[in-house]
Amino acid sequence: MDIAALDSAQVLRENLLKWICFCFGILASVFTYFNLFINDFYSLGILEGVFAIYCFYTFNYARTRKFQTWQPLLLCLCIMLLVTLGTYLAAMRSGLFIWTFTLPVLFYLLLGCKRGYYLSLLLVCIQTAVFTSKTSLAPFLDLNLYLNMSFSYLSIWVIAHTFEASRAQFAERLENLALLDPLTNTGNRLAMNHYFEVELVDKINLFIMVLDLDYFKKVNDEFGHDVGDQVLVEIATILRETLNKGRVFRTGGEEFALFIPDSNQQESYQIAENIRVSLQSTAINVGEREISLTASIGLAAYRDGDSLKQAIKAADEQLYYAKKHGRNNVYSDSQQYSAKLEQVS
C-alpha cells in the first residue's frame, strides 16, 4: 500500500487548492476587467485584480512545492472578503451576493469540519450585518429574499458539514484498519513505515528496539493458538505501558519493534531493560492458566541516512547477539562497539 494513500485528505486538498486558485484566478481576472472598464467599479475591480494575482501565484507555488497550512485559510478569507465587500458596495441587482452560497462547500473542502464551521458561521454574521445595513434590497422583496437566502444557505451548510464529518470519520476508520494490527491493536508494518517516513520528521537521537518473545512457540504448542493470541494482547499492553515515549509496532508473530525518539544510549538501554524486567516479572493470566515469558531485545541507534530497512536490520543484529548469549537479555550496538575496542586494545 502506498504511504501517500494514508494522507488522502491532504493530497485532495492540495489538488483542490491548486485548481481552485487557477479557476478563481481566471474568474477574478474577468471580473477585474468587467468592473474596471465596463462597470466603472474601481475599488472592487482593483481588489479582484490583486486577488487574481494572488491566485495565480498560489497555483504556481502549489505545482512545485507542498503548500503551507495557512494558504487555504488565507484563500478562503480573501474570497469571503471579496463576496461580503462586494455585496456591501454593489447594488442588489448585480447578483454578487449569490456567491455566498458557494462558500460553505469551499470552506469545508479546503479546511475540514472545525474551520469550515467557524468560517461559515462568520460569513452568516457578516452577511446578515451587510444586508440589514442596506437601505433597499430592490428589486427583491425583503421578506422573500431573507427567507430564501436563509433556508438555501442553511441547507448547503448542513449538507457540507454532514458530508465532511462523514468523510473524515470514514477516513479515520479506514486508516485504523490499514495501520493497526487487528490482534494487539499496536501499529503494523505499514504503520511503522508511515511513522518512520512521514511522522518522524526529526530522526536525530532515535533508537530502534526489536523484541522477540523467548520460546513463544511452546505456548502455542502447549495451550493452543487462542491462548497464544491472548498472551500477545497482554504483552502488547505491557509494552505500551512500560514504554514512556515512542511507538510500538508488531512486525510479525511474537516480534515487536519499538521506536524511541529524542533519547540517548543510556536512556534507551534503560527503557529496554525495564521492558525486559517487566515482562520477566509479570505472570499473564489466561483463564485458569498463569503464563510467564521472557524476551530477547536488540537495540540500535539510528544512523544518519539509513533507511527503515537498514535501521531495523541494525537492531535485528543486536537481537541475534541477545539470543546467542542466552536470551532474556538486552544487547545494543554500543556493547558491540565496546567489545571491538577491547579486542583492539
pLDDT value at residue 335: 59
Determine how many CB atoms are found less than 10 A away from the CB of residue 44.
21
Closest C-alpha to 55, from 84, 79, 83, 81: 79
The bridge status of strand 295-301 relative to strand 330-332 is parallel
Grid look-up 507542498 returns: 66
CA 226 – CA 142 distance, rounded (Å):
71
- At residue 91, the pLDDT reads 86
Q: Is 254 a catalytic residue?
A: yes
Cell of 323: 539470543
Contact 251, 236 (CB under 8 A): no
Could you give the C-alpha distances from 274 to 58, 112, 238, 280, 330, in angstroms and in order?
Answer: 51, 42, 11, 10, 10
- Residue 216 CA, distance from chain mean position: 35
With CA atoms as reference, report the closest residue to 257 among 219, 200, 204. Answer: 200
Closest CA to 272 of 250, 294, 293, 298: 298
CA dist., res. 63 & res. 72, Å (int): 14
What pLDDT, on the 0 to 100 scale, is given for residue 217?
92
Rounded to two decimals, the pTM is: 0.70
What 3-state class would DSSP assign to 299? strand
Counts for the chain of helices (H) and strands (E), in that order: 11, 7
| Cβ contacts of 142-145, under 8 Å, gap ≥ 24 | none
The ranges of the chain with pLDDT < 70 are 1-8, 335-345
What string of DSSP letters covers 262-291?
Answer: S--HHHHHHHHHHHHHHHHHPEEEETTEEE
Q: What is the pLDDT of residue 212?
A: 96
- For 109-145, write each residue's pLDDT tens digit: 999 999 999 999 999 999 999 999 988 888 888 889 9
The per-residue pLDDT for 342 is 37
Question: Looking up cell 451576493, which residue turns up?
Answer: 97
Contact 209, 265 (CB under 8 A): no
**Hey, which bits of the chain come out as E strands?**
207-213, 247-252, 255-260, 283-286, 289-292, 295-301, 330-332
Q: Out of 164, 197, 254, 290, which one is annotated catalytic? A: 254
The number of beta carbons lying within 10 Å of the beta carbon of residue 137 is 18
The neighbouring-strand residues paired with 330 are 297
Report how far Cα 261 is from the mean position of its chain's Cα atoms: 19
Residue 192 φ then ψ, to 5°: -65, -40
